Structure 1
Amino acid sequence: MTPRRFAWMTLVLLGGLAGASAAQAPAPATPRPAQALSEQAAKQAGDHYQRYCALCHGRDREGHANDHAPSLRSRSLLESGMPVIIGEAIAYGRPGTPMGGYVDEVGGPMTRAQIVDMVRWLRQQAGVQPLAGERGAAFDRVTGDIGNGAVVYQRNCASCHGAKGEGGTGTALANPTMLALTPDRFLRHAIVQGRQGTPMPAFGSVLSEAQIDDVTAFLRSRSTGWTAGKQALRTPPAAGDYVINKNGSAPDFGALKDDRYVSAAVLDRELKARRRMVLLDTRVASMWQMAHIEGAVPVPYYSREEAFAALPRDGTWIVAYCECPRAAADSVVKRLREEGGFENTAVLWEGIQGWVSLGYPVVAGDASKPAAPAKP
């Protein structure tokens, strides 16, 4: 998948969540038809589901067979979570919950291609299509009163999801990985629509629009921990100030996988050692605001050449990352190497989804500040 194709897919699938009315379900969005799995691929995906997933999610995807695992036949989940949110949750798991990572990159039994087929199989079994919508709107933040959202949560949500988000009848929401990587509109869509076939009701006609915004904002504020206070938001680095740990020595990444890729464990080690480098977040800029590796510069894969003008040309290492998990970052590094003459460049192998899911830290961006250093 090319970076442009990936970004289009992500925004199409999730963008339809924007603008949902809290008083009623949003108007059906135009679905994007998806290619059906072959008979053999569908059988293998179904076999994989029964082998790896049915124990907790139920043999018929009904959910809550064990460990509060959610239903995987709920229309609202599948139409708003395809393919990225659900696929990456399968790949890297949910730290702090019984959901482990199933991709072979972290020791799991499935290849990434098999996980893609699994996600497509789940969608086909439920008979739903991903939502479509306005480009970019999916990653806009929902503005709400966090304090009032905490009150709304305790009155309407805690009896199922737990007073501290620990889960019960409902899914555990005190999950930093989930909260750091799922857009506000995904959370809001679940509140408005509920989860069909589960005890989770639709609150679109129960709570006001403001109350739904408030509880969405409250959940987002828990992404660094359920007892966290107000987040310290980061402002994008200014041009010419992209290097982190300016007085540090060069990182020792060792031999890069395929002469390009550095693992999350090695990157984290070198960051903790305060090595001099530049981190490029190559996702759409609004995703940098949601969560990013501290010190990262938002330089989307679609940026023009001016975006690279402020990069140091003194041999400083430049590490790029994205979410898919590598396509957008790969394209940027390819440009840096082939067109810009930058030699010390690398791509984060696991992407930010893997980074967060493996327990490495992220911070939130300041939505009041422009996140893109150059216009596309």
Structure 2
Amino acid sequence: MNVRLSLLLCFPLFMMTFVSFATERETISPPRKLTAEQARVAAKNYQRYCALCHGKEREGHANDHAPSLRSKSLMESGVPHAIVRPMSYGREGTAMGGYLDEVGGPMTLAETWDLTYWLWEQAGYDRLQFSTKPVLGDSVAGGKLYQQHCTSCHGVNGEGVSAPALGNQSALAHNTDEFIRHAIENGRQDTPMLPFKDKLSPAQINNLTAFLRSKASGWTMNKPVLRAMPKPEQYIVNPQGDDPNFSLQDGMYVSSNDLNDALNGKKRMVLLDTRVPSVWQTAHIEGAIPFPYYADLDETVAGIPKDVQIVAYCSCPRAAADHTIKKLRRKGYTRTAVLWEGVFGWMNLGYPVVRRDVKNSIH
């Protein structure tokens, strides 16, 4: 299975029966029609913010297993929230950051909705009518099916291997059971996620849906306290320190171990977090400045001298950082490197990050 999953709402599952679903569904009216100007801006925003991972033609899997945004089974699912919520707030614990301004991203709420509707217009599929009713099934039996069919791509605990993490709690909170079931049944066209309707019975698909739903319990959300953006005089880490002397793999990459040694040794550097700033707010390597891959380079390099060692990182683990460093090198910045493992690899190796402050835990 390979679903980038936006999957799941929050229905607890205690029942052991199942219901079947008709193969024919009613269609619903399309979203509002964008004006020519709204469509122009949305298309520009897609190429600026989304194409790096989702592909210039919305084909998906350009980087970080990002899903196809033209897949028939996804775009006919009829739930705009399946797109706008992860776009707006991201998927915590994944490379998908939040692009809404209120969480530190670059787009207004209106722009995120316009981009969502633009994606539907580009896909051109009729939207199917789904209910919000739970899919009832045997979650224990579904767990056995998951271990049999899904772990090689999605991981034993839904952590994601070569496909999206199905155990991601923000994903488990936002989409309906029928949305999930439709993805399992029909796959995701033009991706490695094949349809299971010819491999599993309707009851088995219900059971697998029920198993995934059962992993959504206990999800809570905290309201972030946004940090102030660093000022240029704060860009250089250890400004009085010596320069590091990294041995770069392929002339580009520095290991987490070497970077950690340099930080502990108080070496003089600039650390660039090339993700969307909302995830910099969530967690970043201490001293890193938000330097999003899509930003205007002439503006973002202001205040960064060319004689300092620059290390960029992202969570892809390298796509956005590679993209940024290549642009910097074309600008004449030669003392540049990319963190090989990315920030998730850095954290998984046990190296420290600064995490956001939160308040007012909400459910």
Q: TM-score range by the shorter chain?
A: 0.5 to 0.7
Q: Could you say what secondary structure the match of 1:56 adopts? A: helix
Indicate if the aligned counterparts of 2:20 and 2:202 stay in contact, CA closer than 8 A.
no
Q: Distance in 2 between matches of 1:72 and 1:42?
A: 16
Among residues 142, 149, 160, which one is paired with 2:153 in the alignment?
160
Aligned to 2:205: 212
Q: 1:65-118: CA deviations, max 9, x gaps? A: 111111111111112153122111111011111111100011100001001110
The 1:53–1:153 alpha-carbon spacing in structure 2 relative to 1, beyond 3 Å, is same
Q: CA RMSD in A?
A: 2.5
Q: CA deviation at 1:362?
A: 6.9
Give identity over the alignment, percent. 50
Q: Distance in 2 between matches of 1:213 and 1:362?
A: 30
Indicate if the aligned counterparts of 1:32 and 1:132 stay in contact, CA closer than 8 A.
no
Indicate if the aligned counterparts of 1:162 and 1:168 stay in contact, CA closer than 8 A.
yes
Aligned to 2:223: 264
- The yes-or-no answer on 1:95 pairing with 2:96 is no
Indicate if the aligned counterparts of 1:142 and 1:217 stay in contact, CA closer than 8 A.
yes
Aligned to 1:58: 55
Aligned to 1:237: none
- The yes-or-no answer on 1:144 pairing with 2:144 is no
Larger radius of gyration: 2
Which structure dedicates a bigger proportion of its chain to strand? 2
Aligned to 2:21: 20
Aligned to 1:278: none
**How is 1:242-281 mapped onto 2 (pairs within 5 angstroms)?**
264=223
Indicate if the aligned counterparts of 1:32 and 1:131 stay in contact, CA closer than 8 A.
no
Q: Scaled by the length of structure 2, what TM-score is found? A: 0.54
Among residues 111, 115, 120, which one is paired with 1:114 in the alignment?
111
Q: Distance in 2 between matches of 1:361 and 1:70?
A: 31
Q: 1:178-237: CA deviations, max 9, x gaps? A: 11221111111111111111111111121011111111111111124xxxxxx79xxxxx
Q: How many residues align?
A: 211
The 1:265–1:35 alpha-carbon spacing in structure 2 relative to 1, beyond 3 Å, is closer
Q: Scaled by the length of structure 1, what TM-score is found? A: 0.52
Indicate if the aligned counterparts of 1:148 and 1:214 stay in contact, CA closer than 8 A.
yes
Q: CA deviation at 1:360?
A: 8.2
Q: Could you say what secondary structure the match of 1:114 adopts? A: helix
Among residues 210, 215, 225, which one is paired with 1:222 in the alignment?
215
Q: Distance in 1 between matches of 2:42 and 2:59?
A: 17
Q: CA deviation at 1:31?
A: 3.1
* Structure 1 segments of 4+ aligned residues over 3 angstroms from their partners: 263-266, 358-363
Indicate if the aligned counterparts of 2:30 and 2:126 stay in contact, CA closer than 8 A.
yes
Q: Distance in 2 between matches of 1:360 and 1:128?
A: 41
Aligned to 2:180: 187
Aligned to 1:173: 166
Indicate if the aligned counterparts of 1:68 and 1:172 stay in contact, CA closer than 8 A.
no
Indicate if the aligned counterparts of 2:25 and 2:129 stay in contact, CA closer than 8 A.
no
Q: CA deviation at 1:130?
A: 2.2
Among residues 120, 124, 141, which one is paired with 1:123 in the alignment?
120
Unaligned runs of 5+ in 2: 1-18, 226-357
Indicate if the aligned counterparts of 1:76 and 1:194 stay in contact, CA closer than 8 A.
yes
- The yes-or-no answer on 1:35 pairing with 2:32 is yes
Aligned to 2:271: none
